Amino acid sequence: MLVLGYMSGTSLDGVDAALVETDGARIEAFGPSFLSPFTDSERAVIEAGVDAALAWNGRGPARPSFGAVEAVVHAAHLRAAEAVIAQAGRRPELIGFHGQTVLHRPEQRLSVQVGDAQALADALGIAVVAGMRQDDLAAGGQGAPLVPAYHAALASKLGLGAPVAFLNLGGVANLTFIGSDGALIAFDTGPANGLIDQVVQSRGAGRYDDGGRFAAAGRADAAVLAHLLSHAHFRGEGPRSLDRYDFPLDWADACSLEDAAATLTAFTADSVALAAAGLPEAPRLWVICGGGCHNPVLMQALRDRLGECRSADDFGLRSDFVEAEAMAFLAARSLRGLPLTYPGTTGVPQPLTGGTLWRPRNGSWLLQDQ
């Protein structure tokens, strides 16, 4: 069936939408994709929601209202749907909806994605699967990362020999390892671009380190790097999944933009290398997805530490839409009751399905037999 997957990631650039033809077991074909960018005022609304969520932190006083964020998220998803449906000339039968993460606190069994799945189903007249992190958290998993099942399906579709790793470089970096015995291991390795973006934005120098030009002109500060790498996460004491806001940035005020960018680029690469060192086998190939694969300085830093690293685009994939495609694939799995998460991915005790199905109250429900 044709499924529309959505992802609005932690970098707050916009909503990614991608169509995938899938039965939830195999990827049959890729349909059109579209990034619906947030306007500056929409992004400001989401940032205010993230700030409110961080101040609340999952503990009293009362949970803040995310109504304004919900409205912005909803509008951007409708724009994205309109674009991909027009390109495909066909309507999807199902939607996988992630929503906008404003807070991720797995130790409190809490991960907050803002969005109104019922409103989306009603507006588009298409059934929506949402809340794919929630059953996993309730069962003692981390609720993230969710994409490994899709990475495994991609590895199989492309015939990539194991051991192989996928690395997503968004705000946070998450890795999926597929071992030669078929083992699936996944976790967030540390930051990817989120901290770099924060420093660049705080200096009024754009939204991100375009092409890695600031990092290329700076020098990594070894003392700061050692301090950052002493974080509990890298001693295996932290959770397997991270929030974009989990690492300190106070030190950056004392650095030039270039040196801060160089230090943070090295931090991302070093934290992936630390994760790689703990894997049961060294991957013979790293497939890199997410916005970070457009940063040649970061890609070179990874190659220096890991060996063969290739952008997902080199395999005919769409590096910027892998997460959105994954949400489509997972929605189809959810509908069939197939596992979304595994002990080796989120730490859930057994392979577990998840997600809630929201049928449109006013439109045609195309999957009536399910």
Ligand X SMILES: CC(=O)N[C@H]1[C@@H]2OC[C@@H](O2)[C@@H](O)[C@@H]1O[C@H](C)C(=O)O
Residue 208 site contact among ligand X, ligand ATP, none (CB < 5 to 8 Å, cut-off depends on kind): ligand ATP
- Residue 146 is a binding residue for ligand X (CB under 6 A): yes
Tell me the C-alpha to C-alpha distance, in Å, between residue 71 and each of 51, 67, 101, 123.
17, 6, 14, 13
Among the residue ranges 78-86, 87-95, 208-216, 277-285, the one whose residues contact ligand ATP (CB under 6 A): 208-216
Closest CA to 134 of 302, 314, 357: 357
**12 is known to lie in a ligand binding site:** yes
Sheet architecture: strand order including 356-358: 27-37, 14-22, 2-7, 94-96, 127-130, 356-358
Nearer to ligand X, 10 or 334 (CB): 10
Buried b (16+ CB within 10 A) or exposed e, 257-270: bbbbbbbbbbbbbb
Residue 197 site contact among ligand ATP, ligand X, none (CB < 5 to 8 Å, cut-off depends on kind): ligand ATP
> What is the H or E stretch that residue 21 is in?
strand 14-22
**Please, which of residues 326-365 interact with ligand X by CB under 6 A?**
none
SS3 assignment, position 56:
helix
Q: How many residues bind ligand ATP (CB under 6 A)?
A: 22
- The secondary structure of residue 352, as a DSSP letter, is B
- Cβ pair 143, 106 in contact under 8 A: yes
| Out of 1, 3, 6, 11, the residue judged to bind ligand ATP by CB under 6 A | 11
Q: Which residue is nearest to ligand X (CB)?
A: 145
| Identity of the residue numbered 279 | L
For residue 203, report the phi and psi dihedrals to the nearest 5 degrees.
-95, 5
Among the residue ranges 167-175, 219-227, 298-306, 336-344, the one whose residues contact ligand X (CB under 6 A): 167-175
**238 is known to lie in a ligand binding site:** no
Among the residue ranges 86-94, 171-179, 264-272, 291-299, the one whose residues contact ligand X (CB under 6 A): 171-179
Closest CA to 128 of 355, 323, 329, 322: 355
**10 is known to lie in a ligand binding site:** yes
Nearer to ligand ATP, 113 or 334 (CB): 113
Residue 188 site contact among ligand ATP, ligand X, none (CB < 5 to 8 Å, cut-off depends on kind): ligand X
**345 is known to lie in a ligand binding site:** no
| Identity of the residue numbered 120 | L
CA atoms within 13 A of residue 152's CA, in its CB half-sphere: 23
SS3 assignment, position 262:
helix
In the annotated binding site for ATP, the residues are: 9-16
Q: Which positions touch ligand X (CB under 6 A)?
A: 7, 9-10, 101, 104, 111, 144-147, 168, 170-172, 174, 188, 241, 323
Q: Which positions touch ligand ATP (CB under 6 A)?
A: 9-11, 13, 168, 170-172, 193, 196-197, 208-212, 290-292, 294-295, 323
